[in-house]
């Protein structure tokens, strides 16, 4: 292993032994075109270290678009169908048109950052959407590193847009009661009641089946969801911790029993035309309720109840906020909501905690010293 001079070109080159191939033949790596001997030696030492550490990546002319198609195919085994569709959409609509024609090994951090700027300024994508693209890119390059197509992940150090936190809107106890009273005669009342007593997500409520509910013991299990377009039921939840058991209060159990009687009557009236998916929240002929129809009823009831307009997802925030203000342990709230980590719960509802701390301190002081001894 040594550096030699190419007398014809006036440049330097080197040859390194790289072990043997699968057929037992000797492998060599050659590098040419160095302007100085010092430059050639520096590159040779670097390459030798990579070989010694088993981190050497053989230069590949594979286009990034080719790799992405290979990667998406491998992800189809692991990802939920709806998630795979989202990944594929970001790859085909955004990533491949801009970066797909480059060789994967030649994509740099600077190129990725310019790509993000273009998505914002020319395509008008929001910060949140760009961050979604970033996550797909990062995951794809992590796979490329594992498969030894590249030696490092250029996405890891790329600057990403800062996503502004959406202001959380919640109802207080009086507003929550007013909404439920206004919703009482609506066919979808049970969906709104479940949202405001369990903190379940919209997709979880619309995917709930009667076999997931134990009316005798007053519990339900979240294990199925309905897609955003209302066309597909999936026996998977958002995350592993989203599959969970929730205890129901007596009022909700009573309303579920009442609702089940209504659904049974509709099923008998519809006869063979009834599509029996065993759904709790369904149309009069048994089919899933399309999310946009649920939202149409939701906003109409908000107007009727004369309460502040909030998103359906804010019902979930309302449940968590009311529970925390009532002094329920954040760990219990985390389990009810199906958060993967209690830090998510604490970070999301940090605005509630200061008042809880103050109330706790006052209650403890009352207990320790007695109200009559307080100044």
What phi and psi, each to the nearest 5 degrees, are found at residue 69?
-65, -40
Neighbouring CB atoms inside 10 A of 147's CB total 14
pLDDT at 291: 95
pLDDT at 147: 84
Q: Which CATH homologous superfamily contains domain 173-357?
A: Intergrase catalytic core (1.10.443.10)
Give the C-alpha separation, 260 to 254, whole Å: 10
- Between strands 219-222 and 244-247, the pairing is antiparallel
pTM (2 d.p.): 0.65
Q: Is the dihedral of CA 284, 290, 295, 296 positive or negative?
A: negative
Q: Which CATH architecture has domain 64-146?
A: Orthogonal Bundle (1.10)
For 218: left if phi > 0, alpha if psi spans -120 to 50, otherwise beta; the answer is left
For 336: left if phi > 0, alpha if psi spans -120 to 50, otherwise beta; the answer is alpha
Query: Which residues of the chain have a pLDDT value below 50?
Result: 375
Give the C-alpha separation, 179 to 304, whole Å: 8
Measuring CA to CA, which residue among 164, 132, 179 is closest to residue 304? 179
pLDDT at 359: 66
Question: Which residues have a Cβ under 8 Å from the Cβ of 361 and sit 6 or more positions away?
Answer: none
Give residue limits of the domains in the chain: 3-52, 64-146, 173-357
User: What strands lie across the sheet with 244-247, from one edge to the other?
Assistant: 213-214, 219-222, 244-247
- The model's pLDDT over 7-25, given as tens digits with 9 standing for 90+, comes to 888 888 888 887 776 677 8
Asked if 64-146 and 173-357 have one fold, the answer is no
- The model's pLDDT over 209-251, given as tens digits with 9 standing for 90+, comes to 999 999 999 999 999 999 888 888 887 666 666 788 999 999 9
pLDDT at 339: 84
CB 226 within 8 A of CB 206: yes
CB 112 within 8 A of CB 154: yes
What is the chain's alpha carbon radius of gyration, rounded to the nearest angstrom? 30
């Amino acid at each position: 292993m040594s550096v030699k001079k190419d007398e014809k070109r006036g440049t330097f080159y080197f040859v390194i032994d790289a072990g043997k191939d699968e057929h037992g033949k000797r492998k060599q790596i050659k590098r040419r075109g160095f302007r100085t001997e010092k430059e050639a030696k520096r590159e040779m030492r670097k390459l030798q270290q990579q070989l010694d550490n088993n981190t050497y990546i053989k230069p590949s002319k594979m286009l990034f678009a080719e790799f992405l198609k290979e990667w998406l195919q491998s992800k189809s085994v692991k990802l939920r169908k709806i998630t795979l569709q989202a990944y594929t959409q970001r790859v085909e609509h955004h990533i491949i048109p801009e970066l797909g024609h480059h060789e994967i090994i030649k994509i740099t951090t600077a190129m990725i950052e310019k790509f993000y700027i273009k998505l914002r300024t020319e395509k008008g994508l929001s910060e949140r959407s760009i961050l979604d693209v970033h996550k797909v890119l990062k995951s794809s390059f992590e796979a490329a590193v594992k498969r030894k197509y590249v030696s490092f992940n250029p996405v890891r150090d790329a600057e990403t847009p800062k996503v502004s936190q959406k202001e959380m809107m919640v109802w207080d106890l009086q507003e929550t009661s007013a909404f439920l009273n206004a919703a009482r005669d609506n066919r979808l009342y049970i969906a709104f009641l479940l949202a405001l007593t369990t903190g379940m997500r919209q997709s979880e409520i619309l995917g709930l089946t009667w076999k997931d509910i134990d009316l005798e013991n007053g519990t339900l299990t979240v294990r199925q969801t309905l897609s955003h377009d209302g066309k597909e039921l999936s026996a998977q939840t958002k995350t592993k911790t989203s599959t969970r058991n929730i205890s129901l209060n007596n009022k909700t159990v009573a309303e579920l029993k009442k609702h089940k009687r209504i659904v049974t009557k509709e099923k008998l009236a519809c006869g063979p035309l009834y599509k029996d998916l065993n759904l709790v929240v369904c149309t009069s002929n048994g089919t899933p309720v399309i999310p946009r129809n649920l939202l149409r009823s939701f906003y109409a009831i908000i107007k009727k109840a004369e309460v502040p307009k909030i998103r359906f997802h804010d019902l979930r925030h309302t449940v968590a906020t009311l529970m925390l203000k009532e002094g329920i342990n954040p760990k219990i709230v985390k389990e009810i909501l199906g958060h993967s980590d209690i830090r998510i719960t604490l970070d999301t509802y940090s605005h509630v905690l200061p008042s809880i701390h103050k109330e706790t301190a006052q209650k403890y002081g009352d207990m320790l010293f007695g109200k009559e001894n307080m100044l």
